[in-house]
Chain A
Amino acid sequence: MELPPRWAFLLFLLLSSTKASGSAVDKEEFQEELLLKPLPDRKVLAHFHFETRAPPCNSNGRRHHHLFPKAISQMVEKFRVKEMELSFTQGRWNYERWGGFDTMSSNNAKPPGVELWAVFDVPKEQVDASWKNLTHTLSGLFCASINFLESSTMYSAPEWSFRQASGSLRYGMLPREAVCTENLTPWLKLLPCRDNAGLSALMDRPSIYTSFYHSQRLHLTSNASDLEGLNPGIVLEQTLTVVLHPSSQRTSLTHISESYLQPSWSLSSIFGRKVNGRCALAKSSKVYLQLERGLVSELKKNIGSEGYDVEANFELSFNPDRVLTEENSRHGIGSSLLYEFSVDKYSNSKPFDLGLTWKFPVIWSCQQAPLHATRFLMGSGNERGAIAILLKSTDLNDSSPVADSASDGCELHVNIFQIVPWYIRVYYHSLQLFVDDQLKAVGAFVEKIHVMPSKDKISPGMMEMVLKLPCGVKSAALTLDFDKGFLHIDEYPPDANQGFDIPSAAIIFPNFHASMHFPSNDSERKSPMLSKFQESSPVLSYTEVLLVPLTTPDFSMPYNVITITCTVFALYFGSLLNVLRQRVGEKERLLKSKAAAVKTGRPSELLSRLSTKLRGRSQEPSQSPSESSPLINSKLVLKVLLMAALAVAWQYYFG
């Protein structure tokens, strides 16, 4: 009390500063969530979402991390990564059955193998170097052959089709990377609780790797400069999306309708494990069960006449803490439901094992992207072929997703982004476009096209294209001819006859945005997964990976080829030189000596040969004009002089 006001002020300052710094450290936070969603084809989607946030760097640049993985933050600092996404995927997302028009499919459906893209915050000429270093770092971090993306033949720099990034974006894919538990373990290591506690404890390796589709993703956003203030620091978002087939608990078909009944499942039946409480370090730990729009409206229809609630169709083993209904102003087909379960209250003694038991059969379908994209190869043989991308209209009448920008005269914009390795030599001038099975002029429908033709052994070919199709289009197909290249014997992989992969093409619908809005509780911060759902992102789908067989040389032949070719060259050189150096008189002399040999006996033949040899051509000129003898003499003199000069030179230089 006796403190002078000045001291009090100082003390206040001190206190407030410590408080501020303390809060800055505390901002490092971790949240874990799991979304479960029944899929129309009797499968269950499990989507784990872990988010770790770190506050922006202090001025001195050093930071002590409580939760945030140090390796990642060092990597971000070193290579100045602005945004990065790495995904390991096995299996192919079934866009027709599992949905193609929601945030789940456009964010978490990834092409098979490894996909990596990164945006760097460095000058343009350093981007490639940063990319190369980043690939090596990630390769070491995740025990994968991401370092193959270092070679300039494997990555490219899309300019506008994939996402807007003014030249600092690099994109690469490894379609053949085998994804396995050795990639998952380092990924789990980045979580504060690893897989010892919390939701990640559910990740039973056998059940994940026997799933139909699993995609493990790591998304990184960093805002080094805290200008926006909204999303400061590094946000590390790790997701694992698994599509599992629940083994039906009631296999015996007691009732005919049961064959149509969706399989009932619980966490323990699909993962073989239960949740024993949350990860102690997590700020929040929640499990959601999502019933999508189609399902909800179907359920309502099912029961609507009887006046029950949607919940009457199934039974949940735990009571949800909250039920969220999607706010949709536009779609009006019904809105999806989200049941929220907080894992906080469960523990070892009382594990959380969410189960869903269906009471009535229900059949529904997912919402589809406006066009369903497939890609295939045409042609046979190992010399040439064609890539065809077929866009087929999904049934629009059923669940019509109306274009967000309905004002632009009903046009369907489709971005196509495709990378083709250099040994597939695409003839871009052979681009043909078929709209509703009729060949159309390319200029009429292609609004914008950007092509980076491939350079042999240097860079892959890249095509970015905006198609502008009329809304009522039934199908659109585009074909591109290509020649298959021939590689050097060392460039073939060990299993050369398996063929080579063309990475997936990305089909983006820029004016369709998939987002789900759930009413937010203002009291607490929104869960990161739900806010992710809320972000409007264009609908994106990936096409199939194409397998192109290439001809192989005979791998056992190098020595034979070298020797045979060199023999032919020697044959050419030797025989031509031989013809050229034959002298006029030589053959005649040979003939004459032969004739002489025939005339005289054996011993005399030898003698005559010897004598001709000894006398050389002195015998010859007897018939030739006498003028030639001085010529020969001068030649002889010349030769002698030449030899002498050579000898002198030899002496001079080496003697």
Chain B
Amino acid sequence: MEKKKKRGFWRWLIASVMLRLILIYLPKTFNLASRPEVSTPLVSLRRLAEGYWLKQSSISPYAGSMYHGSPLLLSLLGPLTVKRIEGQPNHLLCSLVFVIADIISALLIRATGHTLQMAYRQSLNSLDIVDILKSSDLLSSGDIAALVYLWNPFTIAACVGLSTSPVENLVVILALHGACKGLVPLAAFGWVMATHLSLYPAILIIPVILLLGYGPDTPPRKLFLQKGYGKNGDSHSSDNCGQQETNQSKAEVTFSSRPVIHFLFWSSLWSTYVLVLCSISVKPHGSLWEMFQRTYGFILTMEDMSPNIGVLWYFFAEVFDFFRSFFMIVFHLNILFMILPLAIRLKHRPCFLAFIYIAISSMLKSYPSVGDSALYLGLLGLFLDELADMKFSFFLLCGYIGVSLLSPVMHNLWIWRGTGNANFYYATGMAYACLQIILVVESVSAVLNHDRKLRKISVTKPRDGNS
């Protein structure tokens, strides 16, 4: 049975790789590389190639406003954009790198899923309510999440559409995986790289620290306390066993600061390392300051107003100049505002917290692409058990499909045919943002409800046992 499951997973994985390779070999692949949904100014490989060309002709890659990515990515992927193999598609090597990144991400998601499931099962076991987990009949949630990530059309589009978001997603997943497994250096590396590549994952430091401090997702801590009290109260006939269990559950709740300090140490180490590497690679033409201006500054000031699936481009193309900085601050703070409430409410589920953070930042970031959505939709699969009774899930599915079909149509009407105008495309962006909001809100409320349910069960269960 277990073997069969595994074989099924690998079969699907290989099938998804085959699909990607076929799409790479198709001529032009629907012009995915130039679709605004896929390649934003930050992740476009074409801009990376331009940056590499500038660097090769001994100009700073940041000289124009073409390239806004990391200098490390430039030196890794740059040579691949130039290398051509006779008779093969132009960007074959880069595409292969992205396919490999996707596979690794999927495997990491799977491993993370297994870890999470084990830990969760264990913690439920300690609460005696393990039977509420519907033992998933076909595949474990990790496998499902990995397959969702691999087969998500958004992931495939981002992978085949020559954007660097598979690499960015990979490092984010690396950070989460490292934190889940307790591999501090890996988590630190993932977090530092993810922050370096796209800035927004910086907020993941909270879930990563929580993960390292408390361990993977558990039911709310109060439950363990109550359970402990209940056990205490129940077993006044007192055998050692009950006492031990209480200690155990208490030990689980405590925040262990050792790995966190390790994490901070490692991340400072990695970030100095990354900065040194960057300064070496930008040294001949410019300075680190220029790099920060051109990467983080570009993200924060929203200079490029070319359309994307986000909500900010049209806003900043239309807003009056004297309000610009105000709204810039407000919109970026909007991401930060929610960090604390979410962290307080979901501190017992750091992985889910990370998922929510990623979803929020990919919704509100300045240059979102479908690659970002692919990441959080893949992570969504990890929480299948918790989100089982989420509301509006069918509506959300239809919404996602509808938006992803309508957005190219509207873009075509506006840009190519000239029969529509910018509002058409903006409307799909708005709809997409609303869908993501519903997804975030509903998943948070579903998880909170799930916790309530757990509490109810765990409160009522001992009684049942007693009576």
Contact = CB atoms under 8 A, between A and B. Distances in A.
Contact of A576 (B317, B338, B415, B452): B338
Interface string B407-428: 0000000111010011100100
A-B interface, 8 closest residue pairs, ranked by CB to CB distance from nearest = A453-B64, A429-B53, A456-B65, A381-B416, A558-B318, A579-B445, A561-B318, A572-B437
A461 B65 CA distance: 10
A43 to B, nearest CB: 39
5 contacts: A382-B414, A453-B65, A489-B317, A553-B421, A568-B437
Interface string A570-585: 0111011101111010
A383 interface: yes
B36 to A, nearest CB: 8
A551 B59 CA distance: 31
B111 to A, nearest CB: 30
A576 to B, nearest CB: 5
Interface stretch (A98-106, A363-371, A480-488, A614-622): A480-488
Contacts of B317: 486-489, 553
B334 A565 contact: no
Q: Which interface residue of A422, A452, A457, A579 has the most chain B CB atoms within 10 A?
A: A579
A455 B341 contact: no
A552 B53 contact: no
A451 interface: yes
A554 B229 contact: no
B283 interface: no
A454 B65 contact: yes
Interface in B106-161: none
Interface in A482-505: 483, 485-490
Contacts of A557: 318, 422-423
A554 B49 CA distance: 33
A383 B416 contact: yes
Contact of B455 (A558, A580, A584): A584
B415 A381 contact: yes
Contacts of A568: 311, 430, 433-434, 437
Given A580-B342, A580-B345, A627-B229, A489 B65 contact: no
Interface string B311-329: 1111111111100000000
B314 A561 contact: yes
A209 B304 CA distance: 42
A553 B50 contact: no
Given A451-B59, A562-B319, A486 B338 contact: no
Contacts, number: 155
A10 to B, nearest CB: 68
A586 to B, nearest CB: 10
Nearest to B440: A576
B437 A571 contact: yes
Given A449-B57, A454-B64, A561-B318, A554 B307 contact: no
Interface in B66-102: 66
B383 interface: no
Contacts of B363: 572
B400 interface: no
Contacts of A485: 304-306
A22 interface: no
B15 interface: no
Interface residues of A, number: 52
A117 to B, nearest CB: 23
Nearest to A422: B65
Given A568-B430, A580-B345, A452 B63 contact: yes
Interface of A: 380-384, 422, 425, 427-429, 449, 451-457, 461, 483, 485-490, 551-554, 557-558, 561-562, 564-565, 568-569, 571-573, 575-577, 579-582, 584, 624-625, 627
B416 A579 contact: no
A488 B313 CA distance: 10
Contacts of B341: 576-577, 580-581
Contact of B34 (A383, A488, A554, A561): A383
Nearest to B52: A429
Contact of A573 (B65, B315, B338, B444): B338
| Centre residue among A380, A451, A565, A627 by max chain B CB count within 10 A | A565
Contacts of A454: 64-65
Nearest to A429: B53
A451 B66 CA distance: 13
A173 B59 CA distance: 25
Interface string B266-309: 00000000000000000000000000000000000001111100
A561 B425 CA distance: 12
Given A487-B317, A575-B437, 15 more contacts: A384-B34, A425-B64, A427-B46, A429-B49, A486-B317, A551-B414, A551-B422, A553-B314, A553-B421, A554-B423, A561-B426, A569-B311, A579-B444, A582-B445, A625-B230
Contacts of B319: 558, 561-562
A453 B63 contact: yes
A485 B36 CA distance: 12
Interface string B211-227: 00000000000000010
B344 to A, nearest CB: 8
Contacts of B440: 572, 576
B53 A428 contact: yes
Contacts of A564: 430
Nearest to B36: A383
A558 B416 contact: no
Nearest to A449: B57
A576 B444 contact: yes
B441 interface: yes
B430 A382 contact: no
B12 interface: no
Contacts of A382: 414-416, 418
A502 to B, nearest CB: 16
A576 B53 CA distance: 45
B35 to A, nearest CB: 10
Interface string B34-53: 10000000000010011011
Nearest to A579: B445
